[in-house]
Amino acid sequence: MAKQKTAFVCNDCGSDYPKWQGRCSDCGAWNTLSEIKLGPAQGSGRAGARTSANKAGFAGALGGARVLKDINLDDLPRFSSGAEEFDRVLGGGLVPGSAILVGGNPGAGKSTLLLQTMCHLAATMDGLYITGEESLQQVAMRARRLSLPTDKLRLMSETNVETIVAAAQEFKPKVLVVDSIQVVHTDELTSAPGGVSQVRECAAYLIRYAKQTGTVLFLVGHVTKDGSLAGPKVLEHMIDCSILLEGNDDSRFRTLRGQKNRFGAVNELGVFAMTEQGMREVKNPSAIFLDRSSEPASGSVVMVVWEGTRPLLVEIQALVDDSQLGNPRRVAVGLEQNRLAMLLAVLHRHGGLQVGDQDVFANVVGGVKVLETSADLALLAAIVSSYRDRQLPRDMVIFGEVGLSGEIRPVPSGQERLSEAAKHGFKRAIVPRGNAPKSEIMGMQVIAVSKLSEALEALD
């Protein structure tokens, strides 16, 4: 019996090598090579026939090169998923022939969200839901519990990618869901499902089918303990849209964040609430994040962050306390911890406030992760409020980026942020001078500052 050949594949970029080495020569990552067993040659048997068929399909689909200005975009009309928040994250709706990767922690609600979407779409178009982790009875029980319409959606329990594509070619669905890509395998490879080679080849096969037929493809992906998508990094390059469903175990709210989108804005945010009837979209996310305590307290202020294409009002809290340790702690939840340390240094140098012997804790209420710099000024205001044990006005919002020399830099879409704050009843705002409105905002006093010292004076 001939000895089975092996190869070593990089988990990050997918490059393969004949023997193990500590560093990937292509992407430069260390200790990312995993051993896989090679299956039959691609040029013989069913594999060769499939490869020839794929080449023929590609030739028919492309039809030769075309001039860019002659391409008619009406050939790819978007259609709604049935949920405005989902459509927002997708860039305005579903695009035929697109491949969408949906990731999230176990129990976040990925399968529930996609099952609701498919049951809605099945009323007007053909849909096929492939489940590889649950039985058909389990999916049917969830659909019944959520009171979803079940008379149109086709359901199939399968993990073999060739069988899945064959069923799709027979039913010709407009939307195809594969839950999940980590359990799907191909007979051409002998490695276990979920391995680097299996995930890469199965995803490529499904995406190729979706592109050739104009089918919307949803792939459910697992995440690792650090929150990144499991499997080869090349998987994120192959798909058109990558979205992550996030949520804490102690909260019923879920945030759907776009990490990559070839058809819309990245970092777009959609908010859902997990209820007994399934995932329900939250039309006004600012309202849930502004559910503040009735008792006023120091160290709390509302900021206006920009998520995707809309402003979002979020409460930020800070606690400054005497440290009992030699090295005071700096803890940030929902913020970048290195930026917190940097802002504390700016506060000392340009604000005259020394907190080097204090523990500093910062938290963004509601589990939102703030990725932009407009939260700098609000964070420092909350820290100063906690340190002085002085309450800030509850009808005040603050936003602005703080530079290393103590200057307050403007942030994008300042007018829209102020309008959103005024809509929710806020009467005062501290903003960068570059974001000062050209015309007066009805019922709102806007204080424009250009230096950190001016902002601290405005808080007194």
**Residue-wise pLDDT tens digits, 234-290:** 788 899 999 999 876 667 888 898 889 998 888 788 989 888 889 999 888 887 777
Beta strands 33-37; 6-10: pairing state:
antiparallel
Residue 111: C-alpha distances to residues 103, 141, 176, 240 (Å): 10, 13, 13, 20
This prediction has a pTM of 0.74
Residue 336: C-alpha distances to residues 128, 196, 251 (Å): 41, 31, 22
Residue with tokens 């995930």: 199
Measured over the CA atoms of residue 296, residue 299, residue 303 and residue 307, the dihedral's sign is negative
The percent of the chain in helix, strand and coil, each rounded to the nearest 5, is: 30, 25, 40
Please give the residue that has the higher pLDDT: either 220 or 248.
Answer: 220
What per-residue confidence (pLDDT) applies to 230?
67
- Continuous H helices in 298-356: 337-351
Three-state DSSP class for residue 148 = coil
Angle at 64 between CA 60 and CA 68, to 5 degrees: 125
Structure tokens at 327: 């090295």
Q: 437-449 burial string, b = 16+ CB within 10 Å, else e? A: eeeeeeebebbbb
What per-residue confidence (pLDDT) applies to 39?
54
Strand positions, DSSP E, 268-345: 269-275, 278-281, 300-307, 310-322, 330-333
Query: What single-letter amino acid sits at 1?
Result: M
Structure tokens at 319: 């606690």
Q: How far apart are CA 113 and CA 272, in angstroms?
A: 10
What per-residue confidence (pLDDT) applies to 231?
67
pLDDT-based confidence at 89, cuts 50/70/90? very high
**Residue-wise pLDDT tens digits, 362-394:** 999 877 889 889 999 999 999 999 999 999 999
**Residue-wise pLDDT tens digits, 41-81:** 444 444 444 444 454 444 444 456 778 888 776 666 889 99
**Among the ranges 5-14, 196-205, 392-401, 433-442, which has the highest mean pLDDT value?**
392-401
**By CB neighbour count within 10 A (0-12 exposed, 13-18 middle, 19+ buried), where does 357 fall?**
exposed
**By CB neighbour count within 10 A (0-12 exposed, 13-18 middle, 19+ buried), where does 46 fall?**
exposed
Closest CA to 132 of 182, 96, 97: 182
Measured over the CA atoms of residue 277, residue 279, residue 280 and residue 282, the dihedral's sign is positive
What per-residue confidence (pLDDT) applies to 75?
61
Task: Name, in order, each residue with C-beta under 8 angstroms of 400's C-beta and a sequence gap of 6 or more.
Answer: 374, 376, 377, 378, 408, 409, 410, 411, 430, 431, 432, 435, 449, 455
Q: 284-298 burial string, b = 16+ CB within 10 Å, else e? A: ebbeebbeeeeeeeb
Angle between helices 136-145 and 110-121 (to 10 degrees): 80
Q: How many Cβ atoms sit within 10 Å of the Cβ of residue 378? A: 28
For residue 39, give the DSSP letter.
-
pLDDT-based confidence at 436, cuts 50/70/90? very high
Measured over the CA atoms of residue 150, residue 152, residue 158 and residue 159, the dihedral's sign is negative
Three-state DSSP class for residue 44 = coil
What per-residue confidence (pLDDT) applies to 448?
96
